[in-house]
């Protein structure tokens, strides 16, 4: 009997010494530690707002676990994987491509995005056609990146290759150095190139280096895989329920809609046409509780900020109002800049208020813009078609797939408001999103220049 009690006691003591699964400890502590990097494609803080695909994904995952996130940003990219391998964070969400070499150090979740490595140069320079064409120029990449590893392998075949692997710089900084002509080339992932080219259309892709590569979260190799399994299940779910596709559309679904000429024309008009209109855009935006830069982007899409603009269908003015819309909004003269901008802002707000309250931002704004362009009735028809086809009528990424169907008889005859050129509102919204991003970037850049100019005039304390 005594032996039996000793055995039971030893089993109880043993069971008490078994540590709880990692995921349970994280839930108890209420904190998830994630390594990331400062990059528009991953995590970037601007004033009090944080954006980035990786940030949004991590926040969704943390919400499922019921915990907060502590983000860790190393000084250099090449510190990320070693830190994960040592278990200094729970995982890395840093736009990491999956390679065979990296899988020896860490384990990856299923991919949530695919990218291609691209050699980038500036327009006006001679385009390199192969990697050895870079030997007479300055090529810089991030230290520890898959691009650095790729070049090392290519150097075995092409010993003449030369490049610098820079620490403590981001891919966006290297792309900017190419734009500023301080270096001749860099290699970056296609998603990062696309985001940078919105603001620097002079950046050109010479060629791709290799095939598409998966992007995934990196976890340490460990016996306790409870958190890793939860992350895998999360990635699987967001793929299946469409929320991943919606996020990808939010960040990348519109970024390459404007070509080089569009960007240069817009930049010229920002200098020549916009300044006299800013006060009126700000006044109308404040009166209708909206961002003046969004209102200005709509005005540019409508008229290129030309108060005298008139279309063949009779719409006119900065905001290209129809006579019926102008009458509804109390606009007596559509060519009067202040009246036109005010009328456009009021009309956009009226369309937005018709949308169901459950539709959240930024989808709410994109749908309101589509309704502003094509009419609220046609927008509702597209939402009905979206629901019929198994999509989410409250998500712009799904509704934008249905709008073009309104031009096809087999679809438009089944809805209330009939035929519509549904591709137009899709292009309309995509363009406005691009113009808005350009305006925000330009205005932020101007503010920084003003601050730097003021600082430079302040005498140093003795």
Phi-psi region of 15 (alpha: psi -120 to 50; beta: other; left: phi over 0): alpha
Coil/strand/helix, residue 404: helix
Residues 231 and 219: their CA atoms lie apart, in Å, by 10
Beta-carbon contacts of residue 142 (< 8 Å; ≥ 6 apart): 77, 78, 148, 165, 166, 169, 170, 171, 174
Residues 60 and 337: their CA atoms lie apart, in Å, by 43
Residue 185 β-bridge partners: 139
Contact between 360 and 366 under an 8 Å Cβ cutoff? The reply is no
* CA angle, 107 then 251 then 78, to 5°: 40
Tokens of residue 230, six digits? 């939860």
Residues 263 and 299: their CA atoms lie apart, in Å, by 16
Beta-carbon contacts of residue 159 (< 8 Å; ≥ 6 apart): none
Residue 216 β-bridge partners: 96
Residues 97 and 107: their CA atoms lie apart, in Å, by 12
Q: Could you identify the residue written with the tokens 């895989």? A: 225
Residue from 170, 192, 302, 352 carrying the catalytic annotation: 302
Coil/strand/helix, residue 360: coil
286 is catalytic: no
Residues 282 and 252: their CA atoms lie apart, in Å, by 28
Peptide bond into 362 cis (omega under 30): yes
Q: Minimal CA–CA distance to 122: which of 196, 59, 195?
A: 196
Long-range contacts (CB closer than 8 Å, 24 or more residues apart) made by 11-19: 19/224
Beta-carbon contacts of residue 403 (< 8 Å; ≥ 6 apart): 370, 374, 378, 379, 382, 420, 422, 423, 425, 426
Q: What is the 3-state secondary structure (H, E, C) of 224-279?
A: CCHHHHHHHHHHHHHHHCCHHHHHHHHHHCCCCCCCHHHHHHHHHHHHHCCHHHHH
> Known catalytic residues?
302
């Amino acid at each position: 009997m005594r032996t039996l009690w000793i055995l039971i006691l030893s089993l109880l003591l043993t069971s008490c010494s078994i540590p709880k699964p990692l995921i349970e400890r994280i839930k108890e502590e209420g904190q998830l530690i994630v390594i990331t990097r400062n990059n528009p494609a991953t995590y970037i803080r601007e004033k009090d707002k944080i954006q980035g695909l990786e940030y949004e994904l991590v926040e969704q995952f943390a919400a499922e676990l019921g915990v907060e996130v502590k983000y860790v940003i190393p000084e250099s990219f090449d510190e990320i994987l070693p830190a994960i391998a040592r278990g200094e964070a729970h995982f890395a969400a840093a736009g990491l491509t999956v390679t065979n070499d990296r899988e020896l150090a860490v384990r990856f979740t299923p991919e949530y995005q695919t990218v291609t490595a691209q050699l980038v140069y500036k327009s006006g320079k001679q385009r390199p056609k192969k990697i050895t064409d870079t030997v007479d120029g300055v090529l810089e990449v991030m230290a520890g990146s898959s691009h650095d590893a790729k070049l090392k392998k290519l150097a075995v075949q092409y010993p003449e290759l030369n490049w610098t692997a820079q620490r403590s710089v981001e891919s966006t900084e290297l792309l900017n150095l190419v734009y500023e002509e301080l270096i001749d080339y860099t290699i970056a992932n296609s998603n990062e190139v696309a985001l940078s080219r919105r603001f620097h259309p002079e950046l050109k892709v010479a060629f791709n280096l290799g095939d598409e590569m998966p992007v995934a979260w990196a976890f340490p190799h460990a016996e306790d895989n409870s958190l890793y399994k939860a992350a895998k299940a999360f990635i699987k779910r967001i793929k299946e329920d469409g929320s991943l596709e919606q996020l990808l559309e939010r960040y990348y679904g519109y970024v390459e809609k404007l070509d080089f000429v569009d960007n240069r024309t817009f930049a010229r008009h920002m200098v020549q046409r916009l300044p006299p209109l800013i006060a009126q855009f700000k006044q109308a935006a404040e009166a209708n509780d909206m961002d003046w830069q969004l209102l200005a982007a709509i005005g540019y899409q409508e008229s290129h900020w030309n108060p005298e603009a008139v279309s063949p269908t009779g719409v006119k003015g900065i905001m290209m109002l129809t006579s019926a819309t102008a009458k509804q909004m109390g606009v007596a003269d559509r060519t009067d800049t202040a009246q036109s901008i005010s009328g456009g802002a009021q009309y956009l707000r009226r369309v937005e208020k018709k949308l169901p309250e459950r539709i959240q931002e930024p989808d709410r704004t994109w749908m309101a813009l589509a309704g502003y362009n094509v009419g609220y009735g046609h927008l509702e028809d597209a939402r009905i078609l979206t629901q019929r086809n198994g999509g989410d009528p409250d998500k712009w990424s799904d509704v934008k797939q249905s709008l073009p169907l309104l031009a096809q008889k087999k679809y438009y005859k089944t809805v209330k408001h009939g035929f519509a050129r549904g591709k137009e509102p899709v292009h309309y919204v995509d363009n406005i999103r691009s113009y808005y991003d350009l305006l925000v970037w330009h205005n932020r850049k101007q503010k920084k220049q003003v601050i730097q100019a003021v600082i430079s005039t302040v005498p140093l304390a003795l």
